[in-house]
Chain A
Amino acid sequence: MTAWVSVTDRGFTVGRGAGLQAMIDPRCLEGTPVAGATATVCVAASATQALRFDEPEVQQARRDFMEHRATFLGEDLVCVTTLALDESRCAGAITVTRGPVTGRDDPFARLFPPRAFSTDAFCVVAPPAGPVVERYVGVPWPGGRFPPHPQVRLEP
């Protein structure tokens, strides 16, 4: 399953619409939505300004999120997802938190300017166990996992 958001100067909408369209980790929309959350949206002004996921600054932003940001947010963190234009280009990230949170400390704000919006669209997705940053190509971080091996029991 692929989930999309569309970002304009005025805000963002879930699904494909006007503005910059990007894929997000679909798990962020699959559970019970958290009402009154804040979405810190760090997004490129246009698709041409997107960065490659392999660029060191994108990799480091994800590492810093795991090392610092997710820890400091604690239970206030609802979910996080990068914004993927395609299999290789990153157009930013959305970090969803409970209550108002400044975007100044968001590592993805080093990539693209942060803007904060109130949202009721996203659900809780726990951050991944470290130190993984790489998953499937084209699957916005931190989403994606390998299918279970036939001999591997994943669900007890």
Chain B
Amino acid sequence: MSGAPHAGEAFPDLDLPDHTGRPRTLSELAAGDPLLLLFSRGWWCPKEQRHLRELSRLQDEMEVAYSRMVVVSTDPPEVQSAFRAGLGARYTFLSDSERRWLTHLDLLEETDTQHRPYRPTAFTLQPDLTVHRRYDGYWYWGRPSVEDVRRDLREISEIVREDFRR
């Protein structure tokens, strides 16, 4: 049983260095917007490369739609920076190279004893870090698609933007 929260529960306010090494918190990064939070195996995983390349298609929409995206992996910041540049990503990567939150959230990928990475898991969060929907992505089709993310961000925006419906 994973220690990571489920829908309706509060997600912990992660405190980790970003891809530049600057200390960040999840609530600071959310900054009042709906948030897509992805726990990723790392740059070396072909599934992660494919999935993040797919979700990066949403960047242009997200940046004008007041939504955020954050990726957490166990890669060190300098590796994340290179991976991020290769993706053409403008979103933030958080580095849990010490696996501090990985342990707390009980999201260890147990089948990979070499890298000891995160088990692919995604969350759509309200601005206060309440989990809207959780995706267990051990199997690739369990991960959120672009359509899933667009639906979730619409639903969250409807909840938190008082003037969403006029």
Contacts and interface: CB of A to CB of B under 8 A. Distances in A.
A1 interface: no
B59 A131 contact: yes
B97 interface: no
The residue among A77, A134, A148, A154 with the most chain B CB atoms within 10 A of its own CB is: A154
Interface in A68-90: 68, 70-71, 73-75, 77
A48 B70 CA distance: 39
A149 B162 CA distance: 7
A151 B32 CA distance: 12
Interface stretch (B18-26, B99-107, B137-145): B18-26
Interface range, A side: 20 to 34
A35 interface: no
Contacts of B69: 129-131
Nearest to B30: A129
Given A71-B81, A126-B24, A131 B126 contact: no
A128 interface: yes
Contact of B91 (A129, A135, A154): A129
Interface in B63-119: 63-64, 66-70, 81, 84-85, 88-92
Please report whether the interface of chain A is mostly helix, strand, loop or mixed according to DSSP: loop
Please report whether the interface of chain B is mostly helix, strand, loop or mixed according to DSSP: loop
Given A74-B21, A131-B91, A133-B63, A68 B85 contact: yes
Interface string B2-45: 00000000000100000111101001111111000000000000
A147 B70 CA distance: 21
Contacts of B81: 71
A67 interface: yes
Nearest to A145: B32
B146 interface: no
A132 to B, nearest CB: 5
A144 B95 CA distance: 26
Contacts, number: 95
Given A128-B31, A133-B63, A71 B91 contact: no
A145 B31 CA distance: 7
Given A74-B22, A126-B22, A146 B32 contact: yes
A58 to B, nearest CB: 13
Contacts of A148: 32, 127
A131 B27 contact: no
A66 B93 CA distance: 12
B165 interface: no
A154 B67 CA distance: 15
Contacts of A70: 20
A132 B68 contact: yes
B66 A134 contact: yes
Interface of B: 13, 19-22, 24, 27-33, 59-60, 62-64, 66-70, 81, 84-85, 88-92, 126-128, 159-162
Interface of A: 63, 66-68, 70-71, 73-75, 77, 126, 128-135, 145-149, 151-156
25 contacts: A66-B90, A67-B85, A67-B90, A70-B20, A71-B19, A75-B20, A75-B21, A129-B24, A129-B68, A129-B69, A129-B91, A129-B92, A130-B92, A132-B66, A132-B68, A133-B64, A145-B33, A146-B33, A148-B127, A149-B159, A149-B161, A152-B127, A155-B27, A156-B13, A156-B27
